[in-house]
Structure formats: C-alpha cells, structure tokens
Chain A
C-alpha cells in the first residue's frame, strides 16, 4: 500500500475541530459583540494580546482552525461532486490555509 499523507491532515482536522468547538463561540461573543458594545477597553485587549502566551494562542488557534476548515472544505467539495482536479484543489485549499498561518505569524511576531 502506498504511503499516505492522510493521517497527518486528518489529525490536524481533528485537533482543529476540537479547539474550534471549545473556543470559537466564546471568541465570537468577545470580539463580535462585547468589543463593539464597548464592554472591553483597548488597554485590556493590548495587555492580553501583546503577552507572549497571547501571541502563541492566537497563532495556534489560527493554525488549527485553518487546517480544520481546509480539510473539511476539500472533502465537502468531493461530496458535492467535484471529483476532478483533486490534487490542484487540495494544493489550492491547503496553500490558502498555509498562507493564512504565515500571515498570522507575521502579525503576531513581527
């Protein structure tokens, strides 16, 4: 049997799905609603997000959620009947996710 890269992508999908399930609803409540409502001040946000742990958490969440979304989107397209150009679609979707992770790394560490 040919060696497969599927276990790697599947484990990232799984870890990303778990982290997203645990943190995304709360983060949407914070940044989508509490923040525009004025419940959180700039100083607090700045303190949390300039902390080294905060920077790593932002990058980690981004990496895992993008990996999860890329994997799910790729398999959904197959379920929808897009069976041609599988390799090209995989490269495009995972490439987009990787681009997003690199962009986030530049934002949090540059």
Chain B
C-alpha cells in the first residue's frame, strides 16, 4: 500500500454498462437489508412493550410508503441471495474423492437450503 496510483476511471463508471450497474445494485442491497433489520428490531422492541405498542407499529407497517419500502427491500434481498449463492463456488471448493464437487451442485445445494430455511421461518410464525 506504499504507492498511490492515479485513478483511471470516471466517477460514474458504474453507470456505463449493465454488469457494472448490476454490481452496484448488488452492493446497494446491503444498505437496504441493514435498514430492513433496523425496522425489524423496532418491531421486536414494540412487541416487548405489549400489544398496544405493537398495534401502533402494525398501523405504520400498513402504510403504503412502508409497503413499497418492503417491496424494494425484498427485490434487493432476492438479488443478494441469488448473486451470493452463485458466488459460493468461487469461495468454497469441496473435494469428493478425486474430483471436486461441481459448481452447479454447490449452488443448487445452497438454493435448496435457502428454500427450506425460508419455509421454516414462515412456518414458525404462521403456525
């Protein structure tokens, strides 16, 4: 880190091409997920305060602005999940005997686990 090279790209390089735009949207997904988690913790806090506080918060969750936020956050979260699982084979290599587990199998296993965990989470609250 001793040398500083001059920056070669423009300050809006990420708008130039779709792969760059997708990269930046994926990076932005983290911000939306963090904001969502803040809303989730506020919800938990209201639930601990009791039913009246929770009902007030539920009215807030029903407002169109908040519904739209959750739609956008869900789109970003799905983008994160799909791109994350696709990147798994770049981070993990599992050897099985002589061969490595093929990348598609690793991605598929993670997506199956994702579906299973999602069903369990929704089930825990609905049952």
Hey, which bits of chain A sit against chain B, CB under 8 A? 14, 17-18, 20-36, 39-40, 42, 44-46, 48-50, 58, 61-62, 65-66, 68-70, 72-73, 75-76, 79-81, 83, 100, 103-104, 107-108
B117 lies within 8 A of chain A by Cβ? yes
B7 lies within 8 A of chain A by Cβ? yes
A contacts with B: majority SS: helix
CA A75 to CA B124, docked complex, whole Å: 36
B contacts with A: majority SS: helix
CA A100 to CA B41, docked complex, whole Å: 9
Minimum CB distance partner of A71 in chain B? B30
Hey, which bits of chain B sit against chain A, CB under 8 A? 7, 9, 11, 14, 24, 27-28, 30-31, 33-34, 36-41, 43-45, 47-48, 51, 54-55, 58, 61-62, 66-67, 69-71, 73-74, 77-78, 80-81, 84-85, 91, 110, 113-114, 117-119, 121-122, 124-127
CB of A73 within 8 A of CB of B30, answer: yes
CA A97 to CA B122, docked complex, whole Å: 27
